[in-house]
Amino acid sequence: MKEVKRLPLPQTPIIDLGDWLQQPAGAYISAWEQTQFAGSTADIFGFHALQIGLPQLPALTASRMPHQWISVSSMPATGSQLKISLVHDFAELPFDSQSIDLVILPHVLEFAAEPHQILREVERVLIPEGRVIITGLNRTSLWGLRQFFGKRTGHPFLPEEGEFISPHRLKDWLKLLSMEVEETRYGCYALPVDSAQWLQNSGVMEGLGRRWWPRLGAVYMLEAVKRVRGMHLVGPALKRKRLRRAHAVPVANKGGQIE
């Protein structure tokens, strides 16, 4: 019988976003987001802050809130040094209604099976005037264009399993939940390459992008506020409400340890 020569199997694309962030292109995106998170969270005051998902990109390092949690949907591999507070289903947040001042969603919605339900839960746990910060990969960019053609040739550049949500679409979702978008930022205008050297020397592209095509950055960040009609907390009333929340804790802990 004639021996059949086996062809080498194609390389499996990286589909885990946490792993992808360790690659040069992912590290480039992560560095921009870390800078933006630090600038935003340092000026948001309150008692309780929650980051949902992606502990590889700690978004609360600059926050001054005394109570902080980082949650994941499954336990990381044994030996992981990542800081994890809770393990739970992202579609069911284990917190009381109106108990959280700030929620961070780093690339969670675009990789979630139920992004609408996650946003509904975020709206539920946020206090009136509480804030949510969301980051996502921008399909309307050179990176999105490369991903579009890469998926059709079997060589995706970005994590394959993500369904990237446009900022305009996300704003519509938030509006339906009475979440008012106060700021949208775009960043990362370098060419979509996986070379650390090329990405580090992308200053010219960054300057041109910010000036001439600001909405075509590879990544975006939205910051929205939960509005409640007819409710205006000021002075002592606001202070008393926040003091009551100072001792609030998650109502459930599915497999994780609260710090």
* Tens digits of residue pLDDT in 81-101: 677 888 989 999 999 999 999
pLDDT tens for residues 204-230?
A: 999 999 999 999 999 999 999 999 876
Burial letters 177-194, b for 16+ CB under 10 A, else e: bebebeebbbbbbbebbe
Measured at the CA of 18, the angle between CA 100 and CA 174, to 5 degrees, comes to 40
Q: How far apart are CA 99 and CA 192, in angstroms?
A: 40
The answer to whether position 34 is within a domain reads yes
Does 118 map to a domain? yes
Q: Look up the domain containing 78 and give its range.
A: 17-245
Residue 7 placed within a domain: no
Q: How far apart are CA 52 and CA 195, in angstroms?
A: 29
Encode pLDDT of 9-21 as tens digits.
333 333 478 889 9
Residue of 70, 41, 69 whose CA lies nearest to 56: 70
Residue 163 burial (10 A CB sphere; 0-12, 13-18, 19+): exposed
Domain assignment present for residue 11? The answer is no
| CATH number for position 43 | 3.40.50.150
Residue 158 domain flag? yes
Domain membership flag for residue 183? yes
Residue located via tokens 């961070």: 104
Residue 91 resides in a domain:
yes
CA dist., res. 221 & res. 61, Å (int) = 17
Query: DSSP string of 184-232?
Result: EEEE--S-S---HHHHHT-HHHHHHHHHH-GGG-SEEEEEEEE--TT--
At 83 the pLDDT is: 79
Amino acid at position 223, single letter: E
| Residue 213, in any domain of the structure | yes
Alpha carbons 69 and 58: distance in angstroms, whole number: 11
- Total structural domains within the chain: 1
pTM metric for this prediction:
0.83
Q: From CA 136, how far away is CA 79, in angstroms rounded?
A: 29
Share above pLDDT 90 across residues of the chain, in percent, rounded to a whole number: 64
pLDDT band at 121 (very low <50, low <70, confident <90, very high): very high
Write the CB contacts of 210 (distance below 8 Å, at least 6 apart in sequence).
Answer: 189
